[in-house]
């Protein structure tokens, strides 16, 4: 899969889920209104218990909507450790393949080309 297609799928899934949650909240609001009328008319304790459960469920759906938003941000976030060095990422582990003579020659060549700055010193004690 290519990257743009994957992002399009993520956005499509996000939009679908978001629309679905909105519809559930709207239906829940309608059901709560009906149940509230029923609980008032009947004054039965079980009706109020059901009403409280419906309100709690509707609040949880709204909370899931916010979780969905956070998940979308997490998916779209770029992890700095996965960025390749060519794109400006950080290289944590380097491997030099060669002899110590080759390494010393490379270091001497670099030192001859530029002057050493304080931040270039690896193990400096001052």
Of the listed ranges 13-22, 29-38, 107-116, the least confidently predicted one is 107-116
| Banded pLDDT at 119 (limits 50, 70, 90) | low
Closest CA to 58 of 25, 23, 21: 25
Q: What is the mean pLDDT of residues 1-15?
A: 74
- Look at residue 114 in the predicted model and tell me its pLDDT: 60
pTM of the model: 0.54
Structure tokens at 84: 């390749």
The structural domains of the chain, with segments of one domain joined by +, span 3-76
Q: What is the mean pLDDT of residues 85-107?
A: 73
Give the Cα separation of 22 and 17 in Å (integer).
Answer: 9
CATH number for the segment(s) 3-76: 1.10.287
**Cα Rg, the chain, nearest whole Å:** 30
- Find all residues with CB under 8 Å of 117, minimum gap 6, and list them: none
């Amino acid at each position: 899969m290519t990257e743009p297609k994957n992002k399009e799928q993520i956005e499509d899934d996000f939009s679908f889920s978001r629309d679905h949650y909105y519809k559930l909240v709207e239906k829940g609001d309608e059901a709560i209104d009906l149940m509230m009328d029923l609980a008032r008319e009947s004054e039965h304790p079980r009706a109020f218990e059901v009403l409280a459960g419906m309100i709690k469920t509707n609040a949880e759906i709204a909370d899931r909507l916010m979780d969905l938003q956070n998940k979308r941000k997490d998916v779209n976030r770029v992890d700095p450790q996965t960025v390749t060095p060519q794109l400006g990422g950080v290289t944590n582990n380097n491997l030099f393949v060669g002899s110590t003579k080759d390494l010393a020659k490379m270091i001497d060549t670099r030192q001859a080309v530029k002057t050493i700055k304080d931040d270039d010193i690896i193990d400096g004690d001052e």
